[in-house]
Every structure is written in structure tokens, then in C-alpha cells.
A and B are shown apart, each in its own frame.
Chain A
Amino acid sequence: MQGHAKQENRKMGAEVLRIVQYLNQFFGGIGGEDKAHVGPQVKSGPVGPGRAVQEALGERGEVVATIICGDNYFAERIEDATAEVINLLRFYQPDAVIAGPAFDAGRYGIACGALCKGVKDQLGVPAVTGMFRENPAVDLFRKHVYIIETEDSARRMSEAVSQMVKIVLKLVGKEKIGKPSVEGYFSQGYLENEISDRPGAERVVSMLLAKLHGQSFKSEVSLPKYDRVELAPGIKDLRSATIALVTDGGLVPKGNPDRIEDRAATRFGVYSLEGKDALDPNDYEVNHVGYTPVFVLQDPHRLVPVDVMRDLEKEGVIKKLHEKFYSTTGAVNIVENVKKMGQAIAKELKNEGVSGVILTST
């Protein structure tokens, strides 16, 4: 069956692309939430949205198989499920994989994102998916995988699918993929330079005149969307609290044993304070490109105030200084990295009975 379609179309001189599509239990026609636990199964040819895919492909390709899997099944064992599905796909020797589109469905989005990344990394074959911008899987996978921006429901399925197919065809043909705003995918986290015909000075004055005259203008840079972090309730009784020191000023033991990056760090280090009343400047260095480290090198307490914390311990103001301090580098870092690290550090500290943190930065 797999070789058949290829041979037939070879008569035309052009090789017909073999596409495998991944769908969840709902779009795969197996059932609703009640079937979300179902493991992967294969159907030959296109199923459900696969028909829109086939239409968009036209004669260029054929949806040779569809793999359907329950959202819960995948979400509960992401790595294993990815491996399982890839094994099933392998059999069909796909030229490309299309997953979803997942629209606003979170678990489905994660499955699509993880699968596409896995296909890309392990099979070396293009894989594209589509999601609504609020799907949590967007931020998780946008860097690794082309995710077409879709609406929040399947209302405009064929449009979403046709954009996905366009990118797939370009990837297979090794053509250059245009800018996110043009091709319709979420930006992948890169910033590149182009050269405008006008210097920045001219552009900013023009933008000013347009805005002051009430004309429409387009900002070249958009503002971030920060999420709100709920404040933890205050510590009622400091005298029974264990407080930890955490810093993003890049203080590390000499030699930077954990090889934390000096900018855009993705790792943090955990360093023992057991038996230490003070930090010896000879034992530490500063690993951070964004500030002059002279003062911290002279006296690390300026960044990680172990000495003062020990005094507070002795005076009974706090019960205990936590026996480890956490350190990473905030320079030129991005919210995604520091958020991950912050969450990991908080989890560890919470498990170890720490109730408060003094966070120092530079």
C-alpha cells in the first residue's frame, strides 16, 4: 500500500509527498472526553481535517495515514507517547508530518508540539502544527516548531490547514521561510536585523509627526505582556522562619563549576553555606556581563549577605539561614528562562521548609 501511490504518481515526473497527520480522539472521530485515554491507533488515508489537508496538498502530496491518540493518554506520558507515535509514523516513511491544528485545546496542543519537535529531531523530517495564541503549548514549542496561528475554534479549519500545508511544502522543498507576520506562524524567538532605507533617526521623527497629527502609525517594537504573579502571604512569625538567599547577580564558586552561562543563563547553581559565617572572596567569582563586578569581588556579601543573615540568626530575628544559596545570572536573560528557574528554585526551597527568600539582583 505505501509504495503504490508513489509509483503511480511518478509517472507525472514529480514525486508525490507522503504526509502523515496526527489528530486527537475528537478530530479523529473516535469520541470525546470519554475517549481521551485511548492510545495511538492508525488509520490509512486522511481522516476528518485530513480531508482539508488533502485538498490543500492537491497533487503535490497524499495523506497516506492518520495517527489518532487520546489527549490524556499523550499528556500523561509525553515522552513515551511521542516515541510511540513516531514509531508508528516511521513505517509510512513520511516526507512531512502535520499535527492538529489544535486550536485552543491545551493537551492537544502539547501533544502536537511535542510530536512535531520529536519528528523534527529524531526523523529529520519537517513537522508543522497550528494553535490559537492562548494555547499554553505555543510558548512551550514556538522556538522548536513552526506553529501556525489559528483562531480559537475549528470554524476556519481550511484556512489554518492551508497555511500549514504551505509551510510544509516550503520546508520539504528547502525553501526559505518568510517572516512570521507574512507566513502566519508564531515568531520563533529570534531577532534579526534588516536594513531600512531610512536611518532610525528619520523613522522616529516621522513616527512622531504621524502620531502627533493623529495619523495612523505602526510601532516597530511591541510591548511585552507580563503575567501577574500573586504575592505569597507575609510570614507571620519571622522568628520561626527559615530564610534563603537567592541571587541573579552571578556569584559562583571560583571556576564556575556548574558552567552557568554569563548571559541568558538557563542554569542555576546551589552552593553550600554550611558552617560558613561569611563568604571568603577568594572562593568566589562573578559570572555576569551586565555590571562591573569590582565591588562584589571585593566583598561578596554585598550581593549575598551571609554575614548579616548569620547575625540575624544569632539574634533570633529569624530561626535559620538556609544552608544553601541559589545563584544564577540575570544578564540579557529572558522571561522564559528565569521563570523556569524561579519555579524550580521555589519548589526546592518549599520542599526544604524555607518560608522566605531574600532575592538580590544587580
Chain B
Amino acid sequence: MEVHVRLQLDIFNIKDIQFAGRTAIKDGVLYVDRSELQEFLGEDKRLSQVDVDLTHPGEKCRIIQVTDVVEPRAKTNGGVDFPGALGKIGTVGQGNTCVLRGTSVVISEHRRARDAPMEPSLPGHGAVIDMSGTGAALSVYGKTHNVVVVPRSANGIGLHDYRIALKIAGLKTAVYLAQAGKGLKPDEIEVYDLPPSSGTPKGLEGLPKVAYIFQFISGQFESIPGYPILYGCGAERIAPTILHPNEVLDGAIVTPYRTMGMEVFGLQNHSIIKELYRRHGKDLCFVGVVITVAHDIEQENERAATMAANLVKWTLGAEGVILTKSGGGIDEVAMALTAQRCEELGVRTFLALVHYPTMLSGGDNTTLFNVPEVDAIVSLGTPHARITLPPVERVIGKPIDLEEGPLASGEIKTTLHTVRGVISQIGSSGLIAVQS
């Protein structure tokens, strides 16, 4: 009997969001009962209150202190939403998931000046999303109707606990909104059905077997104990393992507090997984996904590289493998090491990378590694390219008052790194870095 792992996305194309007396979807408009949502989010005693705001593409609005973005999605036929993060751990990747396309939940952190910054290299307003102007044109989230949640910490709650509650509030909001689609007829459906990779599916024998090594988290940044990342638990020290691609698409992984070029939204719409699905059965045979971690301890990186390569070759039987990374330098080196191990086993490697070095390092190269066999690399752009964001009329999120630094509402001269939704470590944008 053939085994199917079938995920059906029931998609609603949302053209507008408005506050109303009841949360519902009608004629392409998502209506949101703001007070019901706030009450629901306020049940988390780690938070004192949660502000909820709406903003739309084209508005002269800037969302600041952005820590993550989630696409509103909810399981509708049994199944668990963001297992382990929101309640019980259960499996995901099958059945029906309702999706509100054209919308995003943006999580904005209510930072206090003395809090450790999200990232030392970001200015006082943190990461931003602009809804119009140059920033919006380049960003995925400048083009979606956004529900912005700004949860505030309750008194006496430590920073780590707050930052966990912050992510949970965003995930909860995404689920709450998408549940409005339950029982309604979707505008379109997408089906992701990939049987187990053992043996070769009939008819696909002539096609090259391709796997994907997804480096989903990095040891580059301090981890927060108890932060729900993989099926609701921490995952910073795990050894490589195999996930079904549908698990990645359906909420098994939540991005950590600090990320570079990845949001939950990106994982839900994972471009490389979707592209491999698109070409599966026609040009290639997609044999599966290995998830791995970039470690800050050399031995653990060596272990990860060896095990990931072995899984790709000996368990998935791949001939070619795509690799991406999750952060900056350490992660690039970990990815390259993993690629080297794959090449040693005879698996051809293909990397897609974001260039974190600012300038070319004396020569024509822009990478931190030099493995001669790894000669097929796609550029995902440089986050250090400069961008000037125009002044805006409205700011959502709490600015931090610094002695110096731009007003959050004013013109901001910064780099692409600051604008969420522009750089994607997993290939959703068309950016490509060229030398000049």
C-alpha cells in the first residue's frame, strides 16, 4: 500500500484587513475583533498588555523593533498548530492547513532602553518593515496586509521569559486569525504530497535524486533556554536529522529569537522546498530534507557535517544536495564543511548563500571558504548594501530614546540588513550580489 504524506493548504487570498466586531473572512476581507484577540493574548501572564495594529501596503507607515513575522495559518481538520510552542506536541505536515495569503502577523518587541539589544549592529529602532517607499519595494512584508502585535512584558518578568512570550503571542495571533477560514471554501488549494523516499517512486527512476540540507539554527547567537524551536523544544545542540519537508512547511520549526534573513513566514513558504516540490517528478526526484545546526564548537560542527552528509548519501540516496545557512560567518563555514563531506561521498553540492563579508577580501572572492569541489554557488545578495528609507507618517512599535540616532519616523540611512523581508537565507528573493 502506498504511503502518502499529504499536506493540503486551503488558501484564502486576503485583499484587506479591518477591525470589526467579530473575527471573520468575507469577500476577501479579513475582519478582526481586536478586543477578543487582545484578551486572548493577555491570558499569558508573562504579558501585561498587547497592542494590536493594522497596516497596509502603500501606507506611509513603519513598523519597528520587528523580531519575527508569521503567516496566519491554522490546522482545520485535527492536527496541531506550532506543536510544543502552543500547547501539546503532535505531528504536523499532513491534513488541511488554512492559509491567509497576502497577510502577515508582525511581532514587534516592546523594548526598554536597558535591555540587551536584539542585535548590536542594529540601530535603536531595531529591524523595520516599511509599508511604502524603497524599503517596501524590496521587502516581502511591505506587500502584505499586516497585523502588528506589540506585547508588553508584565512586571517582574525576566527578559528571556518575555522574549519567549513575545514569539508565542505572534504564533497565537497567526493561528487565531487563520481559524476564521475554518469551514469556508478556500480561493485555491496547494497540495504537497511526497511519499517516503525509500526506494525510488515508480516512473522517476531516470531522474536525479536531490536532497536539501537545511541549516535552521546557529550557535552564533546566545540561545534562550526554553525557547520553542523544533517541535516546541530547544534545538541548538541537536545532531542532524531528517524531517519530512511538509513538517518544515507546517509549523514544526519556529525561528529562534535572533535570526538573520529568516522568519517563520519564510519557513512556512520555504522557497527551496517549494521549488524542489515544483520540479519533483518532472526534472528531479526530491528525496528529502536533512535539518542541521551550525555549532560554535568545532567538534560538534565536524560531527554535524559528517552525519548530515551520511544521511544525504546513505539514507536518502541523493546524487545532488542543496545547502543553505542560517546566519553569518560561523554558519557559512559550517555549511562549507558539510558540503565538503558531501562531495567526499560523491554527492554534488549546490550552495545558496547570503554574503556577510562587507567587501571582497583582496581578490575576486566573497566567500569564507575554499573547497574546490564546491564550485556551484548561487548568490542571495549582500545585506550590507545601503538603502535610504524615506520619512514616514506613522510608526508602530516602541522607539527607544537614544542620545544619538535617527528618529524612527524620519529618513533612515541604513543597510538592507535592517529591513525585514529583503534578505532571505533560503532564496525567496531575487537579490544577487555582483562585484563592482
Interface residues, chain A, with chain B CB atoms under 8 Å away = 139, 179-181, 187-205, 207-209, 211-213, 217, 219-226, 262-264, 289-292, 294, 331-336, 339
Which residues from B are CB-within-8-Å of A179?
Answer: 434-436
Which residues from A are CB-within-8-Å of B346?
Answer: none
Contact between B120 and A334, CB atoms less than 8 A apart: no
Contact between B275 and A202, CB atoms less than 8 A apart: yes
- Complex: how many Å from CA A304 to CA B408? 38
Contact between A223 and B435, CB atoms less than 8 A apart: no
Which residues from A are CB-within-8-Å of B358?
Answer: 191, 263-264, 332, 334
Least CB separation from A203: chain B residue: B378
Least CB separation from B119: chain A residue: A289
Residue B414, interface by CB 8 Å: no
Given contacts A200-B424, A200-B430, A212-B320, contact A339 B362 (CB under 8 A): yes
Contact between A193 and B428, CB atoms less than 8 A apart: no
Nearest chain A CB to B356's CB is how many angstroms away?
6
Q: Would you call the interface of chain B mostly helix, strand, loop, or mixed? A: loop
Residue B361, interface by CB 8 Å: yes
Q: Kindly identify which residue among B284, B319, B378, B435 contacts A187, using a CB–CB cutoff of 8 Å.
A: B435
Nearest chain B CB to A212's CB is how many angstroms away?
5
Residue B61, interface by CB 8 Å: no
Within 8 A of A (CB), among B189-229: 208, 210, 220-222
Top 9 nearest A-B pairs (CB, nearest first) are A200-B427, A224-B365, A201-B427, A201-B271, A292-B222, A336-B362, A187-B435, A221-B377, A335-B361
- Complex: how many Å from CA A264 to CA B351? 25
Q: How many residues of B sit at the interface, in one of the four size bands?
A: 35 or more
Contact between A209 and B352, CB atoms less than 8 A apart: no
Contact between A190 and B348, CB atoms less than 8 A apart: no
Which residues from B are CB-within-8-Å of A292?
Answer: 221-222
Which residues from B are CB-within-8-Å of A208?
Answer: 208, 210, 284, 320, 322, 348, 350, 376
Query: Per-residue CB proximity of B121-133 to A under 8 Å, as 1/0?
Result: 1000000000000
Which residues from A are CB-within-8-Å of B431?
Answer: 193-196, 200
Contact between A193 and B322, CB atoms less than 8 A apart: no
- Complex: how many Å from CA A52 to CA B138? 46
Q: Kindly name the residue among B361, B381, B384 whose own CB sees the greatest number of chain A CB atoms within 10 A.
A: B361
Residue B416, interface by CB 8 Å: yes
Nearest chain B CB to A216's CB is how many angstroms away?
11
Residue B187, interface by CB 8 Å: no
Contact between A205 and B370, CB atoms less than 8 A apart: no
12 new A-B contacts, CB < 8 A, other than A203-B432, A219-B375, A334-B362, are A139-B362, A179-B434, A180-B436, A191-B436, A193-B431, A199-B271, A204-B351, A220-B432, A289-B121, A332-B328, A334-B361, A336-B361
Q: Kindly name the residue among A189, A205, A263 whose own CB sees the greatest number of chain B CB atoms within 10 A.
A: A205
Q: Kindly identify which residue among B328, B376, B424 contacts A217, using a CB–CB cutoff of 8 Å.
A: B376
Which residues from B are CB-within-8-Å of A188?
Answer: 436
- Complex: how many Å from CA A335 to CA B432? 23
Q: Kindly name the residue among A221, A225, A292, A339 whose own CB sees the greatest number of chain B CB atoms within 10 A.
A: A221
Q: Kindly identify which residue among A222, A224, A264, A290 contacts B328, using a CB–CB cutoff of 8 Å.
A: A290
Q: Kindly identify which residue among A212, A223, A333, A336 contacts B372, using a CB–CB cutoff of 8 Å.
A: A223
Contact between A219 and B376, CB atoms less than 8 A apart: yes
Contact between B322 and A262, CB atoms less than 8 A apart: no
Query: Per-residue CB proximity of B342-376 to A under 8 Å, as 1/0?
Result: 00000010111101111111111111011110111
- Complex: how many Å from CA A219 to CA B329? 20
- Complex: how many Å from CA A205 to CA B372? 20
Q: Kindly name the residue among A191, A203, A222 whose own CB sees the greatest number of chain B CB atoms within 10 A.
A: A191
Which residues from A are CB-within-8-Å of B375?
Answer: 219, 223
Nearest chain B CB to A360's CB is how many angstroms away?
14
Query: Per-residue CB proximity of B257-285 to A under 8 Å, as 1/0?
Result: 00000000000000110111001000110
Contact between A192 and B322, CB atoms less than 8 A apart: no
Contact between B121 and A200, CB atoms less than 8 A apart: no
Contact between A197 and B430, CB atoms less than 8 A apart: yes
Which residues from B are CB-within-8-Å of A181?
Answer: 435
- Complex: how many Å from CA A99 to CA B350? 42
Residue B108, interface by CB 8 Å: no
Given contacts A201-B271, A209-B284, A221-B353, contact A191 B362 (CB under 8 A): no
